[in-house]
A and B are shown apart, each in its own frame.
Chain A
Amino acid sequence: MNGAERTKFGKFGGQYVPEVLMPALIELEAAYHQALSDRDFQKEFQHLLQTYVGRPTPLTLAERLSAHFGGARIYLKREDLAHSGAHKINNALGQALLAKKMGKKRLVAETGAGQHGVATATAAALLGLECVIYMGELDMERQKPNLLRMQLLGAEVRAVSSGSRTLKDAINEAIRDWVTNVRDTHYLLGSALGPYPYPQIVRDFQSVIGSEARAQILAQAGRLPSMVIACVGGGSNAIGIFSAFLADPEVCLVGVEAGGSGIESGLHAARFADPRRGRIGVLHGTMTYVLQDEHGQIAQTHSISAGLDYPAVGPQHAYLRSIGRVEYTYVTDQEALEAFLLLAKLEGILPALESAHAVAEALKRAPRLGENHILLINLSGRGDKDLDTILKALSPQSSERPLGKTAQ
Chain B
Amino acid sequence: MNRLPTLEEAFQAARSQGRAALMPYFTIGYPDLLTSFAIVQGIAQAGADIIELGIPFSDPLADGPTIQHSTQVALQNGVTLETCLTFVRQLRQSGVTVPLLLMGYYNPIFSFGEERFVHLASECGAQGLIIPDLPPEEAGGLRQACQHLGLAMIHLIAPTTPPERIRSIAEHTSGFLYVVSVTGVTGAREELPPELVEFIQQVRAVTELPLALGFGISRPQQAVMYGRWVDGVIVGSALIEFVRRSENPIQAATAFVREFRTALESIFSAKKA
Contact = CB atoms under 8 A, between A and B. Distances in A.
Contact of A19 (B59, B68, B108, B180): B180
Given A18-B158, A282-B133, A4 B75 contact: no
Contact of B58 (A179, A294, A298): A298
B108 A295 contact: yes
A10 to B, nearest CB: 15
A180 B58 contact: no
B81 A296 contact: yes
Contacts of A168: 59
Interface string A1-37: 1111001000000111111111110000000000000
Interface stretch (B29-37, B118-126, B160-168, B261-269): B160-168
B172 interface: yes
A195 B220 CA distance: 37
Contacts, number: 120
Interface stretch (B8-16, B92-100, B109-117, B204-212): B109-117
B165 A23 contact: yes
A180 B216 CA distance: 12
B185 A182 contact: no
A264 B162 CA distance: 49
Interface stretch (B134-142, B195-203, B225-233): B134-142
B258 interface: no
Contacts of A297: 57-58, 75, 107-108
Given A18-B156, A298-B58, A176 B185 contact: yes
Contacts of B106: 16, 282
B59 A290 contact: no
A17 B138 CA distance: 10
Nearest to B159: A20
B160 A182 contact: yes
Contacts of B185: 176, 179-180
A18 B172 CA distance: 16
B135 A15 contact: yes
B133 A20 contact: no
Interface string A153-171: 0000000001100001000
Given A1-B172, A297-B57, A281 B135 contact: no
B19 interface: no
Contacts of B161: 19-20, 22-23
A3 B80 CA distance: 33
Contact of B158 (A2, A3, A20): A20
Contacts of A15: 135, 137-138
Nearest first, the 5 closest Cβ-Cβ pairs linking A and B are A296-B111, A296-B108, A20-B158, A180-B184, A297-B58
22 contacts: A15-B135, A16-B133, A17-B133, A19-B156, A19-B169, A19-B180, A20-B159, A20-B161, A22-B135, A168-B59, A179-B185, A180-B183, A282-B110, A283-B59, A292-B111, A294-B111, A295-B111, A295-B112, A296-B109, A297-B107, A297-B108, A298-B58
Interface of B: 57-59, 61-62, 64, 68, 75, 80-81, 106-112, 132-138, 140, 155-162, 165, 168-169, 172, 180, 183-185
